[in-house]
């Protein structure tokens, strides 16, 4: 199964991907996580991506497509993939189609998690992330059992540099201008499934799970 999670910054893509990967035995491939991993290791790709990420802008398409392509060539992705944060532009969507065509795979669905902007600002300002396994937490909606420590792996929690309010506003603007056209793109191709992302984490999970189960049957 190949699924895409499409939605604005803070919609809950990472949060829901974690549950999807467990329930449906899929591999979670998040372009933002891959960039941050490269940044930590100070690779050439990471250093290039940082300039864009710090400003809330998109990393250029060719670089992003190349990185995701390399990840999808790894053997574990054969069991099925949840793409989180990719594609984010029409050229990236075409790039994905090409990659899948080349390997005889097919996109199953694009799950669009819709959330109003005011709620996104609230979610991102209270977010903490595990530096080891990338699990997201939230001061109010999903606090860890022990402050500053990941429930899943004991890793240290940190706040992302690009979750500062001015950068979040830039990310939202970029989403509306460059990524939201994908909603129409995937509606036309018949892949789009709408999921209401405004409820709490469990309510969104219920809706998402039902949507994916409907694909399986
Ligand atoms: P990326 O890491 O993908 O960030 P993003 O799309 O901005 O999304 P987020 O990770 O911020 O949000 P999320 O939807 O995963 O929400 P989460 O589950 O954490 O990209 C970062 C940067 O990398 C980009 O700006 C760009 O520069 C670059 N990049 C990445 N991909 C690229 C691409 N394809 N092309 C070009 N550049 C690219 O949840 C948010 C918070 O809310 C958490 O605290 C969580 O606990 C809480 N929460 C979740 N759900 C709920 C709920 N239902 N109710 C209450 N709280 C909730
Ligand atoms: Mg995320
Ligand atoms: Zn962890």
Six-digit token string for 92: 């990236």
User: For ligand 1, is residue 52 a contact (CB within 6 Å)?
Assistant: yes
- Give the active site residue among 160, 164, 187, 209: 160
187 burial class (0-12, 13-18, 19+ CB within 10 angstroms)?
middle
123 tagged catalytic: no
Cα–Cα distances (Å) from 128 to 109, 151, 200, 207, in that order, read: 29, 12, 17, 24
pTM as predicted: 0.96
Cα distance between residue 66 and residue 63, in whole Å:
5
Asked whether 170 and 55 are in contact (CB, 8 A), the reply is yes
Cα distance between residue 68 and residue 44, in whole Å:
16
102 CA to middle of ligand 3, Å? 34
Question: Tokens 């240290």 sit at which residue?
Answer: 156
CA 99 vs. chain centroid, Å, equals 19
88 tagged catalytic: yes
Q: Is 109 helix (H, G, I), strand (E, B) or coil?
A: strand
Among 96, 79, 82, smallest CA distance to 7 is for 82
Neighbours of 155 (CB within 10 A): 17
DSSP state of 149: B
pLDDT score, position 186: 98
For ligand 1, atom 48: residue with the closest CA: 12
* Dihedral angle computed from the Cα positions of residues 6, 10, 14 and 17, in that order, rounded to the nearest 10 degrees: -50
pLDDT per residue, tens digit, the chain (217 aa), is: 999 999 999 999 999 999 999 999 999 999 999 999 999 999 999 999 999 999 999 999 999 999 999 999 999 999 999 999 999 999 999 999 999 999 999 999 999 999 999 999 999 999 999 999 999 999 999 999 999 999 999 999 999 999 999 999 999 999 999 999 999 999 999 999 999 999 999 999 999 999 999 998 7
- Ligand 1: which atom is nearest the Cα of residue 52? 27
pLDDT score, position 25: 96
pLDDT score, position 19: 96
- Measured at the CA of 130, the angle between CA 128 and CA 135, to 5 degrees, comes to 85
171 tagged catalytic: yes
Contacts of residue 207, Cβ cutoff 8 Å, sequence gap at least 6: 195, 196, 199
HEC assignment per residue over 8-47: CCCCCHHHHHHHHHHHCCCEEEEHHHHHHHHHHCCCHHHH
pLDDT score, position 217: 76
9 CA to middle of ligand 1, Å? 4
């Amino acid at each position: 199964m190949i699924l895409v999670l499409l939605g604005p910054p803070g919609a809950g893509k990472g949060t829901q991907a974690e549950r999807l990967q467990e329930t449906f035995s899929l591999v979670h491939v998040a372009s933002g996580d891959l960039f941050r991993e490269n940044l930590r290791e100070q690779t050439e790709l990471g250093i290039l991506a940082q300039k864009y990420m710090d400003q809330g802008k998109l990393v250029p398409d060719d670089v992003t497509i190349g990185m995701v392509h390399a990840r999808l060539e790894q053997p574990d992705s054969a069991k099925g993939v949840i793409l989180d944060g990719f594609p984010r532009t029409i050229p990236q969507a075409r790039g994905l189609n090409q990659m899948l065509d080349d390997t005889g795979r097919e996109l199953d669905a694009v799950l669009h998690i819709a959330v109003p902007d005011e709620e996104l600002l609230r979610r991102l300002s209270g977010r903490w992330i595990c530096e080891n396994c990338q699990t997201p937490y939230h001061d109010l909606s999903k606090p860890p059992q022990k402050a500053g420590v990941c429930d899943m792996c004991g890793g240290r929690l940190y706040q992302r540099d690009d979750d500062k309010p001015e950068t979040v506003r830039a990310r939202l603007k970029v989403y509306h201008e460059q990524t939201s056209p994908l909603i129409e793109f995937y509606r036309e191709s018949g892949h789009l499934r709408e999921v209401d992302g405004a409820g709490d984490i469990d309510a969104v999970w219920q809706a998402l799970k039902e949507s994916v189960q409907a694909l399986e049957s």
